[in-house]
């Protein structure tokens, strides 16, 4: 195993030449660092025509957007690469291909997806990808079913839980999603005019108890190998195509966390649209987002149910009444986690462009308040929302 060092652009090119497995490695001549996430270095490796042929992604030993004052395990790169390999085995159509990885250097080489676009950026412009939500639901059904106890032999599953124990990254989620927004914390960030809303959230004992229950399940329910941070910025789309990247927060956790995070990011866009687009376009795009949320759930639940009927290896778990009961539990969890994502992306450490890029201040605050209220409603009402149509009706009632 190699010893860790941070790669320069020139070293990234050499590395790709040696390890990407391309037919003409010497055609690779330059690298461009394009990382725009919170954590890592990402190089596009270019040929003589300036066309990107592969991606070299390396974990830094700290949180990139903060600096060396926030150290962070580079082992997250091994976990990310290995999760994407597992997910790629079960859903190759919608998982980025990992061409090579090295745990010592905390580096991986991925297929280049430059012929796709980041979904969040498309959603900000009001662009609609009618198949994307269904494809994301399919990715979630395949990856979560095949890594769950429905499919994995129990001894192998326990070994996998251990291989993917990801304590430092989980702690970030535990803190940033489930704790900081509900207390005064220096990592939180929100517009000063939301101060009263923030104070109300932080004083709401019933809300804190409901979020505590969600946090407890995140801490203790090893149901399946999650992506762990499946937001629209970690999803590439093109017409009829969708690919998931960036699984470094993954671990064995509650299935509803992935579903809720994905839904939450679609709903953050729903809340932000009136501040991002003109009235008519915003209204149309909002309808598409509601359709996306519905499709996402139906594709996931339908896919999981079909896989459970066809491929479950545990004959007890395969009992159709139990599968239905399990999916009901996932639904309730997902609505709760959708609520916590809406809240943490509005008043916590890591925000989203769907709200923060709204330039009109009062409109931005209105959209942010909407996200907070929708988040609270979902956390409280989760167990009383029967299905995807009832969810859409509730969201409409909420504003
Ligand atoms: N496989 C890929 N193909 C093309 N561009 C990529 C690929 N992976 C990452 N990128 C680019 O790098 C950016 C950051 O990647 P990401 O994996 O989200 O980093 P981080 O882990 O720091 O959040 C993406 O938004 C995208 O623009
Ligand atoms: C200190 S990490 C903050 C935040 O960043 C991650 O998102 P991204 O995919 O944009 O890097 C994750 O959501 C973390 O909660």
- State whether the beta carbon of 60 lies less than 6 angstroms from ligand 2: no
| End-to-end CA separation in angstroms for the chain | 54
Which pLDDT score is estimated for 357?
98
| Extended beta strands in the chain, E state | 28-33, 40-47, 52-59, 62-63, 67-71, 98-102, 107-110, 117-118, 224-225, 235-238, 241-244, 252-253
Mean pLDDT of 97-114: 98
228-237 per-position pLDDT tens digit? 999 999 999 9
**What domains sit in the chain, N to C, each tagged with a CATH number?**
9-110 (3.30.200.20), 117-398 (3.90.1200.10)
Which pLDDT score is estimated for 36?
86
Distance from chain centroid for Cα 161: 19
Query: How many angstroms separate the alpha carbon of residue 113 from the centre of ligand 1?
Result: 9
- State whether the beta carbon of 340 lies less than 6 angstroms from ligand 2: no
Check if the interface score ipTM surpasses 0.90.
yes
CA distance 261 to 340: 8
- Which residue, by CA, sits nearest to atom 5 of ligand 2? 38
pLDDT band at 37 (very low <50, low <70, confident <90, very high): confident
Q: Which ligand is nearest to the CA of 181?
A: 2
pLDDT band at 106 (very low <50, low <70, confident <90, very high): very high
Instruction: Kindly tell me if the per-residue pLDDT of 1 is higher than 90.
Output: no
Rg of the chain on CA atoms, in Å:
21
Which pLDDT score is estimated for 112?
97
333 token code pair: 């969890």
Query: How many angstroms separate the alpha carbon of residue 145 from the centre of ligand 2?
Result: 25
Q: Which ligand is nearest to the CA of 345?
A: 2
Q: What is the DSSP-derived secondary structure letter of residue 234?
A: G
359-391 per-position pLDDT tens digit? 999 999 999 999 999 999 999 999 999 999 999
- Which residue, by CA, sits nearest to atom 13 of ligand 2? 229
How many C-alpha atoms does 332 have within 13 Å on its Cβ side? 14
pLDDT band at 192 (very low <50, low <70, confident <90, very high): very high
- State whether the beta carbon of 230 lies less than 6 angstroms from ligand 2: no
CA angle 34, 35, 41 (to 5 degrees): 110
pLDDT band at 329 (very low <50, low <70, confident <90, very high): very high
How much of the chain is in helix, strand and coil states, percent to nearest 5? 60, 15, 30
Atom of ligand 1 nearest to the CA of 42: 12
137-184 per-position pLDDT tens digit? 999 999 999 999 999 999 999 999 999 999 999 999 999 999 999 999
């Amino acid at each position: 195993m190699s010893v860790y060092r941070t790669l320069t652009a020139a070293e990234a090119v050499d590395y790709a030449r040696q390890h990407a497995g391309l037919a003409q490695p010497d055609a690779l001549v330059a690298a461009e660092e394009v990382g725009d996430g919170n954590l890592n270095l990402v190089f596009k490796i270019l040929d003589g025509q300036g066309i990107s042929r592969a991606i070299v992604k390396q974990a830094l030993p700290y949180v990139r957007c903060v600096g060396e004052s926030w150290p962070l395990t580079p082992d997250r790169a091994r976990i990310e690469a290995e999760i994407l390999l597992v997910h790629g085995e079960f859903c190759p159509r919608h998982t980025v291909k990992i061409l090579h990885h090295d745990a010592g250097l905390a580096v991986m080489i991925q297929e280049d997806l430059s012929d796709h676009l980041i979904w969040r950026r498309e959603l900000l412009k009001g662009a609609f990808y009618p198949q994307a939500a269904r494809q994301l639901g399919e990715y979630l059904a395949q990856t979560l079913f095949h890594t769950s106890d429905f499919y994995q032999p129990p001894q192998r599953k326990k070994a996998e839980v251990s291989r993917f124990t990801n304590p430092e990254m989980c702690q970030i989620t535990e803190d940033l999603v489930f704790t900081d927004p509900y207390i005064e914390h220096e990592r939180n960030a929100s517009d000063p005019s939301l101060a009263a809303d923030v104070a109300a959230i932080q004083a709401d004992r019933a809300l804190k108890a409901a979020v505590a229950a969600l946090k407890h399940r995140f801490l203790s329910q090893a149901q399946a190998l999650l992506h762990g941070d499946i937001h629209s910025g970690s999803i590439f789309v093109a017409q009829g195509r969708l690919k998931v990247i960036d699984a470094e927060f993954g671990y064995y956790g509650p299935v509803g966390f992935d579903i809720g995070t994905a839904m939450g990011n679609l709903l953050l866009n729903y809340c932000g649209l009136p501040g991002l687009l003109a009235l008519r376009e915003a209204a149309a795009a909002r309808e598409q987002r509601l359709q996306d949320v519905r499709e996402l759930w139906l594709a996931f639940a339908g896919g999981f149910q079909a896989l459970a009927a066809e491929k479950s290896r545990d004959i007890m778990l395969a009992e159709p009444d139990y599968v239905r009961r399990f999916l009901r539990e996932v639904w309730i969890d997902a609505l709760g986690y959708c609520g916590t994502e809406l809240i943490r992306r509005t008043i916590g450490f890591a925000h989203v462009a769907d709200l923060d890029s709204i330039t009109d201040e009062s409109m931005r605050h209105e959209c942010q308040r909407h996200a907070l209220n929708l988040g609270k409603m979902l956390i409280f009402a989760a167990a009383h929302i029967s299905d995807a149509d009832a969810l859409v009706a509730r969201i409409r009632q909420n504003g």
